[in-house]
């Protein structure tokens, strides 16, 4: 059973460019969240996707946008890159639909994509 | 909004000793508290979690305690081993499946 996968593992961009990061959730999971982790810090929530719609958003500018596909995979897009966008971008998945009483809290993280903006 | 504070930021122990990491949260409505372990170059891995209707949970050498009145929860690792060396994060959220709010992490070093 594959866990959460992300691509690419590393990426180098220059200021002003645009980037797309990809995530495939754990098998059986239908909800994907994206987090940004700056060096030496805890992950910060960007947004969450469920049923192909953004369901919750953290305190990030509109330059950060996303998409979820019918197969539950997701993309994170960042436009007009800034130096401060350099970070590890993490995808986490969980199962929202389930039997009554199913624990929906548990989120599993992927290995992340290391983005460096020069 | 929710704020999670984590202490200490670094912790060094000898192999076989116990390690304790503490977190406090601000939102009394928070009801789910996971702990993640992150090794160098990897994503966070869930090691244990606790919900607000439980005061303590144990899984082999790892235990978590929750004090809802004081709004703090702690991770206890007994009989530490060098492979326990990593960064540990606590987190909290208010509603099932919503955004996790993380602490800043504790770097645990276990020396043999």
B86-105, pLDDT tens digit by residue?
999 999 988 767 899 999 99
Contact of A5 with chain B, judged by CB distance below 8 Å, is answered with: no
The contacts of residue A97 (CB under 8 Å, 6+ apart) are A30
**What was the pLDDT predicted at A72?**
96
* Locus of tokens 């959220």: B93
Percentage of chain B beyond pLDDT 90 is 85
Distance from CA of A1 to the nearest CA of B (A): 16
pLDDT of residue A100: 55
Does the pLDDT value for residue B26 go beyond 80? yes
Segment B38-61, tens digit of pLDDT: 999 899 999 999 988 889 999 999
DSSP state of A14: -
B105 touches A: beta carbon within 8 Å: yes
Per CB-CB distance under 8 Å, the chain B contacts of A96 are 97
Instruction: State residue A103's pLDDT score.
Output: 62
In the prediction, which pLDDT does A1 show? 62
pLDDT at A96 over 90: no
Q: Which chain A residues are within 8 Å of B32, Cβ to Cβ?
A: 105
Q: In 10 A of CB A84, how many CB atoms? A: 8
Residue A58 has pLDDT above 60, yes or no: yes
Provide the pLDDT for residue B97. 73
Encoded tokens for B58:
């144990």
Q: Does B102 touch chain A (CB under 8 A)?
A: yes
Instruction: Judge whether residue B64 has pLDDT over 80.
Output: yes
User: What's the CA gap between A5 and A113, in Å, rounded?
Assistant: 10
What pLDDT score does B96 carry?
65
Which residues does residue B11 pair with via DSSP β-bridges, in sequence order?
A: B108
Output the six-digit token pair for A106: 């548990």
Residue A102 has pLDDT above 60, yes or no: no
Residue B83 phi/psi, 5° resolution?
-75, -5
3-state DSSP assignment of residue A84? helix
Q: Does A17 score more than 60 pLDDT? A: yes
Provide the pairing of β-strand A74-78 with A87-94.
unpaired
| Phi, psi of B53, rounded to the nearest 5 degrees | -90, 5
Disruptive mutation site among A105, A106, A109 for chain B (greatest number of B CBs within 10 Å)? A105
Query: Quick check: B101 and A106 CB within 8 A?
Result: no
From B60, B9, B61, B30, select the one nearest A105 (Cα to Cα). Answer: B30
Q: In this model, does residue A105 exceed pLDDT 70?
A: no
**Which tokens go with A40?**
């030496």
Instruction: Give the minimum alpha-carbon distance from B70 to chain A in angstroms, rounded to a whole number.
Output: 23
- B61 vs A47: CA distance, rounded Å: 34
pLDDT at A43: 97
Average pLDDT, chain A: 93
Angle at B46 between CA A10 and CA A62, to 5 degrees: 50
Mean pLDDT of A64-71: 97
- Inspect the interface and report whether the beta carbons of B99 and A40 lie closer than 8 Å: no
């Amino acid at each position: 059973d594959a866990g959460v996968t992300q691509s690419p593992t590393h990426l180098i961009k220059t200021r002003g460019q645009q980037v797309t990061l990809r995530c495939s959730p754990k098998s059986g999971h239908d909800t994907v969240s994206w987090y940004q982790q700056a060096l030496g810090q805890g992950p910060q929530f960007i947004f969450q996707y469920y049923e192909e719609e953004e369901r919750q958003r953290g305190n990030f500018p509109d330059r950060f946008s996303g998409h979820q596909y019918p197969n539950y995979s997701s993309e994170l897009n960042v436009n007009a890159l800034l130096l401060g966008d350099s970070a590890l971008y993490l995808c986490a998945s969980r199962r929202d639909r389930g039997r009554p009483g199913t624990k929906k809290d548990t989120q599993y993280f992927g290995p992340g994509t290391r983005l460096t903006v020069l | 909004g929710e704020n999670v504070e984590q202490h200490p930021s670094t912790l060094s122990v000898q192999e076989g000793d116990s390690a304790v990491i503490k977190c406090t949260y601000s939102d009394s409505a928070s009801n789910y508290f996971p702990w993640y372990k992150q090794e160098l170059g990897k994503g966070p891995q869930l090691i244990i979690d606790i919900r607000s209707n439980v005061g303590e949970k144990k899984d082999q050498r790892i235990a978590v305690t929750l004090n809802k009145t004081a709004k703090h929860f702690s991770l206890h690792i007994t009989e530490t081993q060098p492979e326990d060396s990593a960064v540990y994060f606590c987190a909290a959220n208010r509603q099932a499946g919503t955004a996790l709010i993380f602490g800043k992490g504790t770097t645990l070093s276990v020396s043999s």
